[in-house]
């Protein structure tokens, strides 16, 4: 099936400009609410900004020295940072936990499943011709999400950015999961190239004026890899983050008189490394031009990977600043909660070079320690939250928290009852500095079928991890995070009682996955 796909480049560009022009000059068309219209009240707006592949140390408030993030710095200065906040090791399960309040042992989505039985899902030309090949394994229709809860409470809801929890024509698309409005990428694979062939607006494609190319390409042999001009071909016309931030600002303007929830999962700074030239030039002046190019393979080649990676983080910071500016101009900044965090630890691909940036902060960030792994560098994330006149400026919390705490926190804020069976707890008392009312997790639990199969438990100062479970391994490594933040020294042999307790937790928290692709051999054989 072809949907909004037109062969002729000029006509596609005309249609794109027409559609996006209408979008920018008219109100959004939302589904009709079954509840009565809700006017502005003292209930806060909620904006959740989720960065993609951002390491714990990639922003100023968490120690970054090379990349400039003044707007996020200001957000932290005016609000609170959490130093022990956790996500999951890769995109899709992390986003599922955020939406549902479920930890990985109870989740429907536990890994990145590209749903390959549909056909050639990694062919970008095939996806452009047939949108049914886009997207990841969809979440089921009856899933209770944050957006559904807020929508039923009268909030206007929007997802603008990257989804990753269901492809076109499935129950998993955002409009079927509680979002009145959606604009951006449905598919995680599609945003591997920021000069994509299209974006989505609700259930329709919006074509971009770009030639569809596979980002997993290598720099041609015979060309000089040190000549920046030989990389110009990898930049095209329509840079997707530009349209995504414009859509977010438009949503804020159009809904300033209503309580709203804006979920803004930016594709930045996930590879491929592609950024506006003004920001690349800024960091070339700062870092210099004497660096080795990334010649491609899994992602688009780039002449200056350090400058471009820094540029992408600073562009995301610029978007944060634009959102704050829009809120202030609309007169609703003081009644808006803004959360900034990431979906998993820093990546090792595409020339990103996390160790050079100290992207892991105090944690190791090279392959095997960051994205895809249950070490701290793979799952601990920066967490900044601003709520003027509610959160004391410049404060810090060491509460151990996780992305699945977001749903119950919002429920407490708006006075809604959270769904039964979730593992998240509200961190609202910590935000308001009411320690006597703050519940604490006795432990946090993870499981992940990818990268060999892994389980982990965080319990106080202790962290236990089992690797290579797809090969049947059951041996746990144990780390004392108070004295070994980089998880270098396995002390399991010295604390068999802790190991035993953690294995009991793992047994308790693991439920058999509904999807075969998420099974872990060592767990299912028990």
Mean pLDDT of 365-373: 97
Angle between the N-to-C axes of helices 305-329 and 240-254, in degrees from 0 to 180, rounded to the nearest 10: 10
Higher pLDDT, 355 or 25: 355
pLDDT score of 37: 32
Evaluate if residue 322 carries a pLDDT over 60. Answer: yes
Evaluate if residue 6 carries a pLDDT over 60. Answer: no
Q: pLDDT-derived band of residue 10, with 50, 70 and 90 as boundaries?
A: very low
Query: Encoding tokens for residue 170?
Result: 């499935």
Q: pLDDT-derived band of residue 526, with 50, 70 and 90 as boundaries?
A: low
Mean of the per-residue pLDDT values of the chain = 93
**Beta-ladder partners of 49:** 264, 340
- What pLDDT, in 10s, does the model give residues 130-174? 999 999 999 999 999 999 999 999 999 999 999 999 999 999 999
- What pLDDT, in 10s, does the model give residues 51-78? 999 999 999 999 999 999 999 999 999 9
pLDDT score of 524: 83
Evaluate if residue 296 carries a pLDDT over 70. Answer: yes
SS3 annotation, 431-500: HCCCHHHCCCCCCEEEEECCCCCEEEEEECCEEEEECCHHHCCCCEEEEECCCCCCCCCCCHHHCHHHHH
Cis bond upstream, residue 213 (ω within 30): no
Evaluate if residue 40 carries a pLDDT over 50. Answer: no
Domains of the chain: 9-441 (3.40.720.10), 442-526 (3.30.1120.10)
DSSP designation for 334: G
- What pLDDT, in 10s, does the model give residues 400-430? 999 999 999 999 999 999 999 999 999 999 9
Residue 374: half-sphere exposure toward Cβ, Cα within 13 Å: 28
Q: Does pTM top 0.85 for this prediction?
A: yes
């Amino acid at each position: 099936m072809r949907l909004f796909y037109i062969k002729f480049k000029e006509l596609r560009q005309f249609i794109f400009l027409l559609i996006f022009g209408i979008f920018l000059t008219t109100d959004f068309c939302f589904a009709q609410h079954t509840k009565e219209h809700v006017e502005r009240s003292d209930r806060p707006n909620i904006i959740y900004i989720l960065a993609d592949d951002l390491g714990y140390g990639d922003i100023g408030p968490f120690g970054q020295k090379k990349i400039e993030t003044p707007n996020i710095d200001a957000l932290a200065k005016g609000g609170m940072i959490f130093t022990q906040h956790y996500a999951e090791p890769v995109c899709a399960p992390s986003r599922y936990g955020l939406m549902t309040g479920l930890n990985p042992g109870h989740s429907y989505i536990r890994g990145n499943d590209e749903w390959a039985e549909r056909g050639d899902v990694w062919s970008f030309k095939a996806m452009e011709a047939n949108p049914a090949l886009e997207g990841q394994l969809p979440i089921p229709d009856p899933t209770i999400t944050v957006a559904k809860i807020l929508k039923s409470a009268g909030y206007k809801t929007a997802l603008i950015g990257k989804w990753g929890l269901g492809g076109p024509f499935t129950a998993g698309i955002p409009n079927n999961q509680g979002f009145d409005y959606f604009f951006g990428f449905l598919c995680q694979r599609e945003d591997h190239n920021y000069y994509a062939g299209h974006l989505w607006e609700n259930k329709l494609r919006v074509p971009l004026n770009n030639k569809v190319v596979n980002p997993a390409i290598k720099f041609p042999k015979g060309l000089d890899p040190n000549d920046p001009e030989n990389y110009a071909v990898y930049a095209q016309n329509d840079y997707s983050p530009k349209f995504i931030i414009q859509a977010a600002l438009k949503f804020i303007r159009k809904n300033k008189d209503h309580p709203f929830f804006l979920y803004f999962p930016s594709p930045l700074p996930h590879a491929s490394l592609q950024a506006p030239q003004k920001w690349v030039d800024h960091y070339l002046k700062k870092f210099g031009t004497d660096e080795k190019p990334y010649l491609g393979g899994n992602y688009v080649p780039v002449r200056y990977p350090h400058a471009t990676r820094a540029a992408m983080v600073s562009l995301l910071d610029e978007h944060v600043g634009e959102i704050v500016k829009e809120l202030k101009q609309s007169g609703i900044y003081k009644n808006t909660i803004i959360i900034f965090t990431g979906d998993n630890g820093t990546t090792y691909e595409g020339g990103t070079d996390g160790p050079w940036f100290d992207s892991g902060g105090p944690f190791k960030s090279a392959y095997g320690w960051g994205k895809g792994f249950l070490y701290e560098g793979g799952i601990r994330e920066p967490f900044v939250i601003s709520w003027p006149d509610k959160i004391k400026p410049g404060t810090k919390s060491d509460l151990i928290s996780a992305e699945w705490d977001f749903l119950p926190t919002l429920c407490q804020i708006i006075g809604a009852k959270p769904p039964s069976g979730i593992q998240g707890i509200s961190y609202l008392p910590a935000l308001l500095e009411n320690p006597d009312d703050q519940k604490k997790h006795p432990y946090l639990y993870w499981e992940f079928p990818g990268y060999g199969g892994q389980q982990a438990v965080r319990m106080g100062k202790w962290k236990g991890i089992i690797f290579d479970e797809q090969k049947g391994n059951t041996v746990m490594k144990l780390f004392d995070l108070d004295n070994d933040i980089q998880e270098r020294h396995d002390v399991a042999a010295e604390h068999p009682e802790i190991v035993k307790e953690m294995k009991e937790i793992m047994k308790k928290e693991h439920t058999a996955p509904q999807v075969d692709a998420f099974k872990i051999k060592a767990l299912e054989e028990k």
